[in-house]
Amino acid sequence: MIQATMADMRKSVDFFQTDQVISIINGRKKQEIGYFVPNTLKTDFLKFLNELEKSKRLKNAKRAAEAQMLDPIGDGSAGDGIE
């Protein structure tokens, strides 16, 4: 992984022809801003992001299902049909 500032990336075309992930940092504050993923890694990175989103949605669905199971239906109320 290469580290670069925004100024480095603006003035050099070489960074965009690399096959490594670039860690972009704020030159003044020395804080990480984000990452630049080259086209050669795009398909693998998109697969990773999709898997991450699926796992997040599945986790939220499980939490909702568990909360639903713990919430009893009281007298005079109607259930939602989910069992």
* pLDDT of residue 43 exceeding 80: yes
* Contact in structure between 1 and 21 (CB atoms under 8 Å): yes
Higher pLDDT, 41 or 16: 41
Identify the pLDDT of residue 44.
Answer: 92
Phi, psi (deg, nearest 5) at residue 33: -100, -45
Residue 73 structure tokens: 């239906």
pTM for this predicted structure:
0.57
Confidence tier at 75 by pLDDT (50, 70, 90): low
Tell me, what amino acid is at 42? Answer: K
* pLDDT of residue 81 exceeding 70: no
